Each structure stands twice: as structure tokens, then as C-alpha cells.
Amino acid sequence: MNSAQRIAGLPALPAFLAGVLSLVMLVLSAAPPPADPDHMLEFVTAHRMAHGLFAIFVLTWAVFSVPFVTVVAAILRDVNRPIVAAAQILTAGGILLLGFAVFMSVGAVLAIVSAGPAPSPEVAAYQLKFWTHLGFFLTDPGLMAWGLGQTLFGWLSWRDRTLPRWTSVVALVGGIAGLLTLAVYQTPVLALVQLLSFTVWGFGVGIVLRRVPRVVASGA
């Protein structure tokens, strides 16, 4: 059985869904919040509903990205089953952990705003600044676990060659960016690179899976 026949029955929808949700997540995450804590307090207060919707969207992105990870694991299952299983657990677990961390960070900021007037504007500004900085540490474990899993997937894909080489390179770039997240404290650059690679990876794998049934049918 060739590689096209082996993956012919796998659905492309989870890959495309992960790609679309990750693209939206990338656009929303790339918009920087106000740097000044005083302005940030005003900004969050004025856009409270938008922040709440973003927190919900982050959880939605995390949950609906897991089926795509399962599909990738199914594609590579015959390469090295123990490493594929480890990559699947790390990637899916890291994404879910990241989603919860972002939700918690945004929820903390909303809680500060919803708690009512602070004893002083300085106290509210300090609390917002504290949770903003802590948010980087909260997201690092998820990003790094996801990065390690995606790096393993990229390496397995490079060896297997069922998927195009460029998708393996994209997975490796994003995975390595995730692994190095803790080295660049207080900047989301590597996290955005990781999310961008996941977006491209999702669309790339989806296109491959979408085309495979036609290839198999035409060769039957």
C-alpha cells in the first residue's frame, strides 16, 4: 500500500479548521495592547466584552486544534509509533495548556476591571501590569510542550515523506520557535512564529488530504 492509499480515508476538515482558527488567532494576538498600564485599564474597561469573547475563542481554538493533531498522528503512525504517540500527547496537551493559560490571564485582567474601583489607580495599574507579565510565564509551558511535539512531528514527517517536505520544514520551524519561547521573555515574537507555522501547516496538510482521494481514484 502506497502513502496515498494509506491516508486516503483521513478527513481534511480538521486540518482546514485548525488553519482557519489559527489564522484568526494569529491576527487577534498580533494586535499589541496599550503599553501604559493606566491606558490599559481604560482600554480593557472599554472593551470588556471583546476581551471576554477573545478568551472564549482561545478555548475554542485549542479544542478544535486537537483533532488536527490526531489526523497528523494518523498520517505518521507507521513511522515510529512510540514517538508519534509522544508527539501527539505533547502537541495536543501543549495546545490545551496554552489555551487555558491565555484564558486565565485574560480572565484575571477582566476580574480586576469587574471587581470595582481599586483603592487607588496605582493599585489597579500595578495589578494589571503584574498579570500582564505573569501571562508570559503562564503560556510558556504550553508553548514549549507544543513546540517539542511539533518538532517531533516535523522530524517524523521529514523521514516519512508522505507529506511534502515543505510542510515538514514549516512544522520544524514552528516547533523550534516554541521550544525557545522561554529564552525571549516578555515578547510574543516566537509564539507568533509558532502560531503562523501551525496555520500554514494546517492548510498544507488539509490540501494534501483533500487531493489524495482524487489521486487514488484516478489511479484505480
Per-domain residue ranges of the chain: 11-215
| pTM for the full predicted model | 0.86
The answer, yes or no, to whether residue 217 has pLDDT greater than 70, is: no
Q: Which residue has the cell 487607588?
A: 120
Q: Which residue has the cell 502506497?
A: 2
Q: For the CA atoms of the chain, what is the radius of gyration?
A: 20
Burial class of residue 67 (count of CB atoms within 10 Å of its CB; 0-12, 13-18, 19+): middle
Please write the tens of the pLDDT for every residue from 42-101: 777 777 888 889 999 999 999 999 999 999 999 998 888 999 999 999 999 999 999 999
Please write the tens of the pLDDT for every residue from 110-163: 888 777 776 776 777 777 778 777 878 889 999 999 999 999 999 999 998 888
Asked whether 146 and 154 are in contact (CB, 8 A), the reply is no
The answer, yes or no, to whether residue 108 has pLDDT greater than 70, is: yes
Please write the tens of the pLDDT for every residue from 160-172: 888 899 999 999 9
